[in-house]
Structure 1
Amino acid sequence: MLLFIDLKLLAEQIKATSLLEWISVSFGVASVLFARKNNVLLYPTGIIGILTSGFLLIDAKLYAETLLSAYYLVMSIYGWAIWNNQSTSGASKISRSSAKEQKITWAIAILGWGFLYFMLTTFTDSDVPIVDAFVSSTAWAGMWLLAKRKLENWIWLNVSNLIAIPLLFHKELILISFLTIFLFIVAIFGYFDWKKELDQPNAKLKTV
């Protein structure tokens, strides 16, 4: 019965999906697929997806989510710049996180969790502030690592996806939850694709 209800909700959401939302989802999916292939096109496609979703979030009066999208936009611009930076200060190839970068990543996740929990409990009527804040803060950490072209970005992003999936089902956001399952699967392949390329000493850099 639950499966039947979920499929019914999914069908209803698909019918109600606007053209702008389809564009946003399509570019979001394209961005993740490009990321899996270690292709810098993930950033321009991702930026289009973020901007189009921003209009949808504002229209829905989801201002907190809009601010999160603004963070993703900034990190996408930053990541695009340093992926194309061929100097030693750039991120022209895949690498593993250093000990310092791991500490920064944990700091982003933990401090971000606390900050978002405070914001959600203080300024919103969220009924799932702990889980919602965790999903966002781990995604923040993953986005920072992605901008640095670090292999571990996939782990952090999938921790976020793993918790987001049941949360989205709980909120009956069926279409988005199925999309997140798809992104979770792609991220698993992305990790192993990046690891394989990282283990190849003469792997070619993929750029625009």
Structure 2
Amino acid sequence: MAIHEWWYLMLKQVAETDWLQWLAVALGVAEVLLAKVNNIWLYPAGIAATVLSVYILLLAGLYAESLLNGYYIVMSIYGWWYWIKKKNLPPVKISTCSRRDWITVAGIIAGSFVILALLLKNFTPSTVPLWDAWVSATAWAGMWLLAKRKIENWILLNVSNAFGVPLLFYKQLPLFAALTVILFVIGVQGYIQWRKIINAEKAALIKI
């Protein structure tokens, strides 16, 4: 498909997108921006975005995608609770993954990839079950790390974004591919910002 055809398709999608979908996208972007600055309001924004996404996907008949978004709601609620579970303690600090965390991440990716690939291949008309499963599996692992306030969440989420962009173009969804590129850039910035926070805290401890 030529560049002008991609551009026409994107403009057509923008014209056909209703306000509810734009609200869901706006809340999703707000969630990532809030996560970038380590703001707890990322969870309410994320929950609202995913609830709207589940509703929109159900209306579109994309039941498997609705189920996957249900996972994001659960992880957002868990992350919110984990962050403020004890009022008398300081907020959960940003940290790096331990060996145990990486084992859990590997388990999430491997387990969810196999399950999703089998479900997509055997129970849906998906033409890209492995590709789709990989994008979702890495995003699931990234969401778990985000809930645990681990800086590596940005790496996993951007792995998902990197594979998601060409997948969306392949499915002739250039508008959503462009939005995913924006999320990728925000993810890079988020990693840099969180790294600065970790380094500042380490420097403060050394001075003490």
TM-superposed deviation, 1:2:
1.8
TM-superposed deviation, 1:122:
1.2
What corresponds to 1:79 in structure 2?
Answer: 79
Offset from partner CA, 1:146-200 (integer Å, 9 cap, x none): 0000000000000000000000000011111110000001000100100110111
Measure the CA separation in 1 of the matches of 2:116 and 2:91.
29
What corresponds to 1:142 in structure 2?
Answer: 142
Equivalent residues of 1:91, 1:149 under 8 A apart:
no
Question: What one-letter code is carried by the residue in structure 1 that aligns with 2:57?
Answer: L
Provide closer, same or farther for how the CA distance between residues 125 and 147 of structure 1 changes in structure 2, counting only shifts above 3 A: same
Question: What one-letter code is carried by the residue in structure 1 that aligns with 2:14?
Answer: I
What corresponds to 1:206 in structure 2?
Answer: none
Measure the CA separation in 1 of the matches of 2:13 and 2:83.
36
Measure the CA separation in 2 of the matches of 1:88 and 1:4.
58
TM-superposed deviation, 1:201:
1.5
Which secondary structure state, in structure 2, belongs to the residue aligned with residue 39 of structure 1? coil
TM-superposed deviation, 1:125:
1.1
Q: CA RMSD in A?
A: 1.8
What corresponds to 1:69 in structure 2?
Answer: 69
Which secondary structure state, in structure 1, belongs to the residue aligned with residue 136 of structure 2? helix
Q: How does 1:1-208 map to 2 (within 5 A)?
A: 2-86=2-86, 92-201=92-201
Question: What one-letter code is carried by the residue in structure 2 that aligns with 1:113?
Answer: F
Moved more, 184-193 or 2-11: 2-11
What corresponds to 2:206 in structure 1?
Answer: none
Measure the CA separation in 2 of the matches of 1:30 and 1:109.
26
With structure 2 as the length reference, what TM-score do the two structures score? 0.93
Provide closer, same or farther for how the CA distance between residues 90 and 144 of structure 1 changes in structure 2, counting only shifts above 3 A: farther
Which secondary structure state, in structure 2, belongs to the residue aligned with residue 200 of structure 1? helix
Equivalent residues of 1:79, 1:147 under 8 A apart:
yes
Measure the CA separation in 2 of the matches of 1:141 and 1:16.
33
Give the 4+ runs in structure 1 shifted more than 2 A.
Answer: 85-91
Give ranges in structure 2 of 5+ residues lacking alignment.
204-208
Identity of aligned residues (%): 46
TM-superposed deviation, 1:85:
2.6
Question: What one-letter code is carried by the residue in structure 1 that aligns with 2:191?
Answer: Y
Question: What one-letter code is carried by the residue in structure 2 that aligns with 1:27?
Answer: L
With structure 1 as the length reference, what TM-score do the two structures score? 0.93
Measure the CA separation in 1 of the matches of 2:135 and 2:112.
10
Measure the CA separation in 1 of the matches of 2:37 and 2:2.
36
